[in-house]
Amino acid sequence: MNEKKDYSHVYWIGGSPCSGKSTIAEMITKDYGYTYYQCDLFNEKHVNASNPSEFPAMFRLKDMT
- How long, in residues, is the chain? 65
**pLDDT score for 2:** 65
The pTM (predicted TM-score) of the whole model is 0.59
**pLDDT score for 28:** 94
Model pLDDT for residues 3-15, shown as the tens digit of each residue: 788 888 889 898 9
Q: With 70 as the cut, is the pLDDT of residue 44 above it? A: yes
- The closest of 36, 49, 38 to 5, measured between CA atoms, is 49
